[in-house]
Amino acid sequence: MEIIITEYLGYCFGVKRALKLTGEVINNNRHKNKKIFTFGSIINNPGVTEELSKKGLISVQDISEIEKNSIFIIRSHGMSPDIINKIREKYEPEIIDTTCPFVKKAQARAKALSQKGCFVVIIGNKNHPEVLGIRGYILNKNYMIVEDEKDIKTIPQNKKIGVVIQTTQTKEKLLLITGRLLEKTRELLIYNTICDITGKKQDSTKKLAENTDIMIIVGGKNSANTSHLAEISREINNSTYHIESFQEIKPAWFRNKKRAGISGGASTPVKDLIDVKKAIEKL
């Protein structure tokens, strides 16, 4: 069996940065002994999240679980400014912001569009933390989150519509949705806020899917960018499997297959891809 790993493997810039900052906070806190909180996960990878929690990072699902005299880390996906302000006022923690600069750009674009009087469309997953964070920057709450074409029906006619897109979505979706939005307005302002590395990972995964019999996409099931890689691959190659770890590999998937491709999301460590390669070699 020939096994090919994608050329764009490992953490993206934003994830590396978030993990570096978080690591520094944990190390510097050794003598201070403060509790370190984050809202949700720093990055969407269960293995990494578990490692960080062993080192003392407390990931809460409700901000009421945060305590005074603590450190609060804003995750790489960013957060709504309203929630950050609530945390600041109520718990007065030391705040460390690991929001990816590409996400910050999407937040700033959404704010600018709303300042220009646009009805803002955010293309993305309705419950994804990045999208919920971007939404918080829209000043007049005149917005809608669009997951797919079906949602466009409910958008009212508007004088001006402004568009931003979740950083890990696909160019194809941006083209499709913005094309349809022309039915709703005569003035459409579009910011392509998909980050560069997302596009590169998607293109290289597509190529790999075209040239292999089976594709293994590695990364958190809750990771938007990894899930998109799996979708893109599946459209081309029916034998696509999205797994979080090599332990999920089933020998039956590889029956009569000669070339396997491995790709992974922006929050998937290189080690996880290598482990998958080794596991396939042992079959």
Which listed residue (41, 45, 76, 125) binds ligand SF4 by CB under 6 A? Answer: 76
In whole angstroms, the minimum distance from the beta carbon of 195 to ligand SF4 comes to 3
Which listed residue (8, 102, 137, 246) binds ligand SF4 by CB under 6 A? Answer: 102
In whole angstroms, the minimum distance from the beta carbon of 90 to ligand SF4 comes to 28
Q: What is the DSSP string of 176-209?
A: HHHHHHTTT-SEEEE-----HHHHHHHHHHHHHH
In whole angstroms, the minimum distance from the beta carbon of 71 to ligand SF4 comes to 21
In whole angstroms, the minimum distance from the beta carbon of 171 to ligand SF4 comes to 14
Percent helix / strand / coil, the chain, rounded to 5: 45, 20, 35
In sequence order, which residues have a C-beta less than 8 Å from that of residue 226 and are 6 or more positions away? 44, 217, 218, 219, 220, 242, 264, 265, 266, 267, 268
In sequence order, which residues have a C-beta less than 8 Å from that of residue 185 and are 6 or more positions away? 119, 157, 158, 159, 160, 161
Q: Is 38 in the site for ligand SF4 (CB under 6 A)?
A: no
Q: What are phi and psi of 227, to 5 degrees?
A: -60, -40
Among 12-20, 120-128, 139-147, 272-280, which window interacts with ligand SF4 (CB under 6 A)? 12-20
Draw the binding track, 154-173, toward ligand SF4 (x: CB under 6 A; -: no contact): -------------xx-----
- Among 50, 130, 172, 183, which one carries the catalytic annotation? 130
Draw the binding track, 212-251, toward ligand SF4 (x: CB under 6 A; -: no contact): -------------x--------------------------
Span 183-212, contacts to ligand SF4 by CB under 6 A? 195, 197-198
HSE-up (13 A, CA, CB side) for residue 29: 21
> Cβ distance 81 to 137 under 8 Å?
yes
Cα–Cα dist 260/267, whole Å:
21
Which are the catalytic amino acids? 130
Binding site for ligand SF4 (CB under 6 A): 12-15, 76, 100, 102-103, 167-168, 195, 197-198, 225, 266
